[in-house]
């Protein structure tokens, strides 16, 4: 009989080895998963039951100098969900159908794009739909088809009570873009956050924004909340008080109805800006809540350019308002006195070119005071040639022309103070005396913003200090003493007084206050001449300086000067303020 014990023993040994190997693999696997990678799997398990809800920061509000609200927060609702839940059961399609049934136009593609842009962790909440009103949210939640995996989250949205009155100043907020997310990667921003896009909202983003909050919640296997683990409430940003006077801004808007241009009013001593109106304007409320691409393109391509802030970004020839600086420069450089006269026959010849005075019959013999009073071009042609372009450019630079004023708003233009080097580089031409003659009356290769003109006249009004304009009440006064001789400033101020009392700016003085200033009519290659008036009041003890610029307004004397007189009267005479309101 054969002996099977060796075979059986071998099989038993192999079986034991297989069992031991299996146990070794099992123990090794347990060790690998439970010891070596324990933290990883604990974290994954925690993620499956942990949900993080991010609360957007509460933005600070914006007020004018009298406490009137310019930017305020209102409560709306966002529909939120978790990526791991949203990916199930065709959620975007179902939600899009539900929203459409309730009159809220969203497509599944819109929702999918929004989810994809925000998703970077499956347990972090994302926003599917924003700007839902309380009534809409109640209607949606009451619908049996509303997905139970989603939930409403109350959030703050920005609204601007003044609307188009101050949109060029406040600007607006909007959802942060991908480029902005990269740009502000260190700023604790997330997709869906609101960020200042323009104006004060952008300039003071760090002050107004606040800090985001977060809530950690534990959920069960079906995603239902079990308990709150931790909560950090959203922090409110700082409120911002501006130097703007909304009442005066409203008057500026009324005065500018039907015109394109700008009105600026500034405290001559501190640089506080009380009025900064640009016409036409735009309503910033739709932009803060979201507009379609078609609506956005219609706004930015509007031929009237409502989004151009003409007060700080529009560049125009200063025209005869520049003559005050020319006269002061000539006095300081000892190229003229009040005793020196020039004869105006109505024309002035330089080489083979003849330059006309606005008064074709001429002004006769005039000194500096009468030249300012009557805005005699021929007198200033001669002053300009005496000074020469180099000294004219020096005085432009001293008064801040050709450089931004430094106002606390984005998008300010520097203006243009072009000289011989610029002309040679741009046109490959030499500088001629005729170019200097044009410069002398604020024409030619010279462009300024209305705010720059106001700053220039503030120097004359305050006794020789170049102030930096500002809108924030906390900005503080920044001024540089230009070391001008008082007697020379007094001469220019006397001449500007004559302009209103006896000359081309009489209408500015018809509102119960004493105004000094200068009219201007700027040549416009694209149509009728622009109208300007720059002045200050009260004449003997100036407080405010104001500039009105009307595109294609034809005459500063009849159109711009009464606007300046009326708005200065509003600010200085309580009775006038009452009537205007």
Distance CA 132, CA 76 (A): 6
Distance CA 324, CA 65 (A): 31
Structure tokens, 112? 């999918």
* pLDDT for the residue numbered 220: 66
CATH number of 51-241: 3.90.1310.10
pLDDT tens-place values along the chain, 581 residues long? 556 567 666 777 777 777 777 787 877 766 666 665 555 544 544 445 677 777 889 899 999 999 999 999 988 888 888 777 776 667 788 888 888 888 888 888 888 877 777 765 566 677 788 778 888 888 888 888 888 778 888 878 899 999 999 999 999 999 888 888 888 877 788 887 889 999 999 999 999 999 988 888 776 665 566 777 888 888 899 999 999 999 999 999 999 999 999 999 999 999 999 999 999 999 999 998 888 889 899 999 999 999 999 999 999 999 999 999 999 999 999 999 999 999 999 999 998 899 999 999 999 999 999 999 999 999 999 999 999 999 999 999 999 999 999 999 999 999 999 999 999 999 999 999 999 999 999 999 999 999 999 999 999 999 999 999 999 999 999 999 999 999 999 999 999 999 999 998 999 999 999 999 999 999 887 888 999 999 999 999 999 999 999 999 888 778 999 999 999 999 999 765 655 55
Q: Which candidate in 279, 320, 375, 557 is catalytic?
A: 320
Side-chain half-sphere CA neighbours of 75 within 13 A: 6
Instruction: Say if CB 215 and CB 233 are below 8 A apart.
Output: no
Distance CA 550, CA 553 (A): 5
Instruction: Say if CB 92 and CB 107 are below 8 A apart.
Output: no
Distance CA 127, CA 82 (A): 9
* pLDDT for the residue numbered 275: 98
* pLDDT for the residue numbered 44: 42
246-580, CATH topology level: Beta-lactamase (3.40.710)
Distance CA 321, CA 519 (A): 6
List CB contacts of 120: < 8 A, sequence separation 6 or more: none
* pLDDT for the residue numbered 479: 96
The helix (H) or strand (E) run that includes residue 574 is: helix 574-580
Per the DSSP assignment, residues forming a β-bridge with 536 are: 516, 545
Q: Catalytic: 185?
A: no
List CB contacts of 34: < 8 A, sequence separation 6 or more: none
Whole-model pTM?
A: 0.83
* pLDDT for the residue numbered 40: 54
Residue extent(s) of CATH 3.90.1310.10 domains in the chain:
51-241
* pLDDT for the residue numbered 41: 47
If DSSP codes are grouped into helix, strand and coil, which group holds residue 198? strand
Distance CA 490, CA 495 (A): 9
Distance CA 23, CA 13 (A): 15
Residue extent(s) of CATH 3.40.710.10 domains in the chain:
246-580
């Amino acid at each position: 009989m054969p002996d099977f014990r060796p075979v059986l023993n071998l099989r038993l040994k192999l079986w034991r080895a297989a069992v031991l190997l299996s146990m070794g693999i099992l123990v090794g696997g347990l060790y690998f998963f439970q010891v070596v990678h324990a933290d990883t799997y604990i974290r994954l398990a925690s993620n499956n039951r942990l949900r993080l809800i991010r609360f957007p920061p509460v933005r600070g509000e914006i007020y004018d100098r009298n406490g009137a609200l310019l930017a305020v927060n209102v409560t709306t609702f966002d529909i939120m969900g978790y990526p791991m839940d949203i990916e199930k059961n065709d959620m975007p399609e179902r939600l899009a159908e539900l929203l459409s049934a309730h009159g809220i136009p969203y497509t599944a593609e819109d929702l999918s794009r929004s989810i994809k842009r925000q998703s970077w962790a499956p347990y972090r909440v994302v926003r599917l739909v924003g700007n839902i009103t309380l009534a809409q949210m109640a209607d949606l939640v009451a619908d049996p088809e509303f997905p139970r995996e989603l939930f409403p989250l109350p959030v703050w949205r920005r609204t601007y009570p003044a609307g188009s009155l101050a949109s060029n100043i406040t600007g607006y907020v909007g959802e942060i873009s991908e480029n902005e997310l990269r740009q502000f990667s260190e700023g604790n921003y997330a997709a869906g956050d609101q960020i200042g896009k323009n104006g004060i909202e952008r300039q003071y983003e760090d002050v107004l924004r606040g800090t985001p909050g977060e809530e950690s919640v534990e959920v069960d296997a079906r995603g239902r909340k079990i308990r709150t683990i931790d909560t950090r409430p959203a922090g409110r940003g700082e409120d911002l008080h501006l130097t703007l006077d909304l009442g005066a801004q409203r008057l500026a808007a009324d005065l500018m109805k039907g015109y394109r241009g700008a009105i600026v009013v500034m405290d001559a001593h501190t640089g506080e800006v009380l009025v900064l109106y640009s016409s036409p304007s735009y309503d910033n409320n739709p932009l803060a809540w979201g507009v379609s691409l078609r609506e956005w393109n219609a706004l930015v391509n509007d031929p009237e350019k409502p989004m151009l802030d003409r007060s700080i970004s529009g560049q125009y020839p200063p025209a005869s308002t520049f003559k005050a600086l020319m006269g002061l420069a000539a006095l300081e450089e000892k190229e003229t006195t009040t005793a020196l006269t020039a004869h105006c026959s109505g024309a002035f010849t330089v080489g083979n070119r003849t330059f006309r005075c606005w008064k074709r019959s001429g002004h006769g013999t005039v000194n500096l005071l009468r030249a300012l009073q009557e805005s005699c071009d021929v007198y200033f042609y001669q002053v300009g040639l005496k000074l020469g372009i180099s000294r004219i450019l020096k005085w432009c630079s001293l008064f801040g022309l050709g450089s931004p004023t430094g106002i606390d708003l984005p998008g300010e233009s520097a203006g243009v103070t072009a000289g011989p080097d610029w002309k040679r580089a741009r046109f490959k031409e030499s500088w001629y005396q005729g170019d200097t003659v044009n410069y002398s009356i604020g024409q030619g290769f010279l462009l300024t913003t209305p705010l720059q003109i106001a700053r220039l006249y503030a120097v004359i009004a305050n006794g020789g200090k170049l102030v930096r304009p500002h809108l924030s009440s906390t900005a503080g006064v920044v001024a540089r003493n230009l070391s001008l001789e008082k007697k020379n400033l007094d001469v220019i101020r006397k001449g500007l007084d004559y302009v209103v009392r006896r000359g081309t700016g009489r209408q500015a003085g018809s509102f119960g206050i004493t105004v000094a200033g200068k009219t201007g009519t700027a040549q416009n290659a694209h149509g009728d001449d622009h109208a300007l008036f720059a002045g200050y009041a009260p004449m003997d003890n100036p407080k405010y300086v104001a500039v009105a610029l009307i595109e294609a307004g034809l005459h500063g004397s009849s159109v711009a000067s009464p606007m300046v007189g009326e708005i200065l009267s509003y600010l200085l005479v309580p009775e006038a303020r009452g009537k205007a309101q």
